[in-house]
Amino acid sequence: MCGIFAYTGKKGKNASGVLLKGLLSLEYRGYDSAGIYLPERGSVKTPGAVAELRKKIPKDFKGKSGIAHLRWATHGEPTEKNAHPHADCEGEVWVVHNGIIENFRELKEKLGQRGHKFKSDSDTEVIAHLVEEHLTTGIGFEKAALAALNDIRGTYGIALQYKKEPDRIIAARMGSPIVLGLGAGEHFIASDPSPILPHTRKVVFLEDGEVAVITPEKHRIFKLDATDVKRKATKIDWSAEEAQKGGYEHFMLKEIMEGPEVIENTLRGRLIPAKGLAKLGGLEGVTKQLEKIERIIIVACGTAYYAGLVGEYMLEEHAGIPVEVELGSEFRYRKPVVNERTAVLAISQSGETLDTLEAVREGKRRGALTLGIVNAVGSTIARETDAGVYNHAGPEIGVASTKAFISQLTALALLTLFLGRQRGMTAQEGKKIAKELQALPAKLAKLLERKEGIASLARKYSDSRDFLFLGRRYNLPVAFEGALKLKEVSYIHAEGCGAGEMKHGPIAMIDEKFPTMAIATKDSMYEKLISNIHEIKARKGHVIAVATEGDKEIAKLVDDVMYVPETLEMLSPILNVVPLQLFAYYFAKGKGLNVDRPRNLAKSVTVE
Ligand code: AGP
């Protein structure tokens, strides 16, 4: 996600001062690059965040209106060239954008044929040139903007400005948030209310498919078909910090709640459901090599490693490729047998984890094809791998990784579909997987509605000092991840364990003070899990089960149940992990701990 902020007013305020200050409260949304445009003074852009931008702003950079942006890169490296705002050929139409324009390549080609010259690799720039193209018909700025918006497909939250009408700014929302700030003699546009609150608490949230025009004196909202929209303003009583968290108390909860949108963004433009195919643009350059790959070694750390363990099951069962999963910190010191028919696949949210990066370098040294599933565009791992898939999950601020894990599993399912359909997976099976992937966001949204029930469960077990997490097959990595979430935010002892492994030792720990979280959804291992639960109950252990909606039998056996919607076994970790993420969040919150920044941990481990 990126941060947008725009201002127009006649109160004698300096627009660049208002905009730069406002960007500071949006830095959590993106910090790859920053930029600002004032119709009276032109644009200033830089890699990095607000501090770097401020250094480049000339002393006399003043004006009554402008647009500004903080970038979280999705297309195009985080360089000055790709920083927003972007302009048309003549530098008269300027745009800042949050989202992904899916059809930007075809639009860019058509505009290029009409003589438009592009300066960046970003998808956003096509918006400015589209408006410019429509302006040539003499329909005026507002209608040209509306026509351009009707040409594009994808997600956007944008602000548009036209040099010849400096006090007017156009905003539009499709899938990315936009809020208007209504001041006296001044109006604002932003990605969230935090930069607006110092000026006014009167706001209007745009809905998808809506466009707004602001001038110093007034605002107007209409739909893409130009029909007017009347919407009452609301008064925000949040603090600026709460506004950054979307009204949630912590980034961790906000990011868990973003799950449905994260799945949609990871899938966006990458499924061909009618053919049961996945389309991964980032792998286009190595498609031939991938056909010859005989095995995959996944390298990762922490949560990303557990995502890799799920990927192992997916790829072996549905793509027929032998897979091994290695901790980055181990692989780099092994003497792995690797050749050009091996793919080393790195999974990393930050793209900067040194152990994973060094594992990629080791694989490359030994001749492997190196791939990445990375969230941070332009990060070191993304740059050093031969090809890869970006998560498009947006920045993850909470140190405990939650939405990135959901996105990593979704990307692994896409990779499984991509490789599986190269290797004999039938169109029928591919369509089934594609269809269920598309159904996941709604299923996850339904599951998230039960978060208060999980909060009360966390309170019920708040005195526990130990937890055992049990799972099998696809859900064994979920058990490991659930244990990691709980221990890293609440500092208590929690360990994941193969349910079949319990009798080889761990069951000795079980008593009425040592509860077990059992992932026992209706899948190929369900009956085995039920037997394991009986073994625990026979030793007076308390059991909380993650179970499939409608499973009344298990409720008679265990002490508590967290229900999840049914899905394909290979996709079940995407849903099953969420109650465990929420349980860890509420358990730690109940202890008054710093959930977003747990002690001793860093968001990106760039050291040995
Ligand atoms: C996850 O909650 C942890 N913060 C940590 O294990 C993290 O997953 C690990 O450091 C890997 O980070 P990466 O995905 O950025 O490479």
Measured on CA atoms in the order 55, 60, 61, 65, is the torsion positive or negative?
A: positive
Nearest to 66 by CA among 171, 167, 176, 147: 167
- Per-residue model confidence as pLDDT tens digits over 185-230: 999 999 989 899 999 999 999 999 999 999 999 999 999 999 999 9
What is the DSSP secondary-structure string of 379-436? -HHHHHSSEEEE-------SSS--HHHHHHHHHHHHHHHHHHTTTT--HHHHHHHHHH
Q: Specify whether the CB–CB gap between 472 and 573 falls below 8 A.
A: no
Q: Is residue 596 part of a domain?
A: no
Instruction: Write down the pLDDT at residue 380.
Output: 87
- Per-residue model confidence as pLDDT tens digits over 547-566: 999 999 999 999 999 999 99
| DSSP-based three-state secondary structure for 237 | coil
Burial class (CB in 10 A: 0-12, 13-18, 19+), 315: buried
> Are residues 438 and 456 both part of a single domain?
no
CA gap 327, 418 in Å, rounded? 25
| DSSP-based three-state secondary structure for 528 | helix
> Are residues 436 and 522 both part of a single domain?
no
The reply to whether ligand 1 has any atom less than 6 angstroms from the CB of 303 is yes
> Are residues 198 and 304 both part of a single domain?
no
CA gap 260, 305 in Å, rounded? 22
Beta strand 179-182 with 169-174 is unpaired
CA gap 176, 138 in Å, rounded? 30
Closest atom of ligand 1 to CA, residue 399: 4
| DSSP-based three-state secondary structure for 474 | helix
Instruction: Write down the pLDDT at residue 443.
Output: 98
> Are residues 165 and 58 both part of a single domain?
yes
CA gap 392, 347 in Å, rounded? 14
For a ligand 1 pocket test, name from 600, 605, 606 the mutation site with the most ligand atoms within 8 angstroms of its C-beta: 605
Strands (E), 17-92: 33-38, 42-47, 65-71, 86-87
Instruction: Write down the pLDDT at residue 89.
Output: 97
Instruction: Write down the pLDDT at residue 435.
Output: 98
**Number of Cβ atoms within 10 Å of the Cβ of 524:** 10
> What phi and psi values does residue 318 have, to the nearest 5 degrees?
-115, -10
Q: Is residue 600 part of a domain?
A: no
Going by CA atoms, what residue is nearest to atom 16 of ligand 1? Answer: 348
Nearest to 231 by CA among 189, 266, 202, 257: 202
Report the CATH number that the domain containing residue 213 is assigned in CATH: 3.60.20.10
Q: Is residue 537 part of a domain?
A: yes
> Are residues 106 and 187 both part of a single domain?
yes
- Per-residue model confidence as pLDDT tens digits over 420-474: 999 999 999 999 999 999 999 999 999 999 999 999 999 999 999 999 999 999 9
Q: Is residue 563 part of a domain?
A: yes
Q: Is residue 107 part of a domain?
A: yes
Q: Which domain holds residue 302?
A: 245-447
CA gap 495, 497 in Å, rounded? 6
> Which residues carry out catalysis?
2, 603
Instruction: Write down the pLDDT at residue 99.
Output: 87
> Are residues 461 and 429 both part of a single domain?
no
Count CA atoms within 13 Å of residue 533 on its CB side. Answer: 28
Instruction: Write down the pLDDT at residue 117.
Output: 97
For a ligand 1 pocket test, name from 305, 310, 353 the mutation site with the most ligand atoms within 8 angstroms of its C-beta: 353
The total number of structural domains that make up the chain: 3
The reply to whether ligand 1 has any atom less than 6 angstroms from the CB of 399 is yes
> What phi and psi values does residue 187 have, to the nearest 5 degrees?
-135, 155
**Number of Cβ atoms within 10 Å of the Cβ of 317:** 16
- Per-residue model confidence as pLDDT tens digits over 482-533: 999 999 999 999 999 999 999 999 999 999 999 999 999 999 999 999 999 9
> Are residues 383 and 348 both part of a single domain?
yes
Measured on CA atoms in the order 19, 20, 26, 30, is the torsion positive or negative?
A: positive
> Are residues 198 and 277 both part of a single domain?
no
Closest atom of ligand 1 to CA, residue 381: 16
The reply to whether ligand 1 has any atom less than 6 angstroms from the CB of 605 is yes
Instruction: Write down the pLDDT at residue 103.
Output: 94
Assigned token pair, 396? 């993850």
Distance from the CA of 305 to the center of ligand 1, in angstroms?
8
Query: Is a pLDDT exceeding 80 seen at residue 475?
Result: yes
For a ligand 1 pocket test, name from 298, 329, 350, 599 the mutation site with the most ligand atoms within 8 angstroms of its C-beta: 350
- pLDDT-derived band at 78 (thresholds 50, 70, 90) equals confident
Query: Is a pLDDT exceeding 90 seen at residue 606?
Result: no
Residues in the chain, overall count: 608
CA gap 198, 187 in Å, rounded? 13
The reply to whether ligand 1 has any atom less than 6 angstroms from the CB of 400 is yes
C-alpha Rg value of the chain to the nearest Å: 25
> Are residues 427 and 497 both part of a single domain?
no
> Are residues 260 and 389 both part of a single domain?
yes
Cis bond upstream, residue 395 (ω within 30): no
Closest atom of ligand 1 to CA, residue 400: 2
Query: Is a pLDDT exceeding 80 seen at residue 605?
Result: no
- pLDDT-derived band at 595 (thresholds 50, 70, 90) equals very high
Give the mean model confidence (pLDDT) for residues 68-91: 88
Give the mean model confidence (pLDDT) for residues 307-330: 97
The reply to whether ligand 1 has any atom less than 6 angstroms from the CB of 356 is yes
- The model's pTM is 0.81
- Per-residue model confidence as pLDDT tens digits over 132-179: 999 999 999 999 999 999 999 999 999 999 999 999 999 999 988 899
- Per-residue model confidence as pLDDT tens digits over 340-390: 999 999 999 999 898 999 999 999 999 999 999 999 887 889 989 999 999
Per the prediction, the chain carries an average pLDDT of 94
Q: Is residue 604 part of a domain?
A: no
Distance from the CA of 106 to the center of ligand 1, in angstroms?
37
CA gap 401, 485 in Å, rounded? 8
Instruction: Write down the pLDDT at residue 445.
Output: 98
- Per-residue model confidence as pLDDT tens digits over 15-46: 999 999 999 988 877 778 999 999 999 999 99
Q: DSSP state, 101? A: B
> Are residues 45 and 98 both part of a single domain?
yes
Report the CATH number that the domain containing residue 405 is assigned in CATH: 3.40.50.10490
Nearest to 342 by CA among 322, 327, 361: 322
Burial class (CB in 10 A: 0-12, 13-18, 19+), 4: buried
CA gap 133, 111 in Å, rounded? 8
| DSSP-based three-state secondary structure for 73 | coil
> Are residues 477 and 550 both part of a single domain?
yes
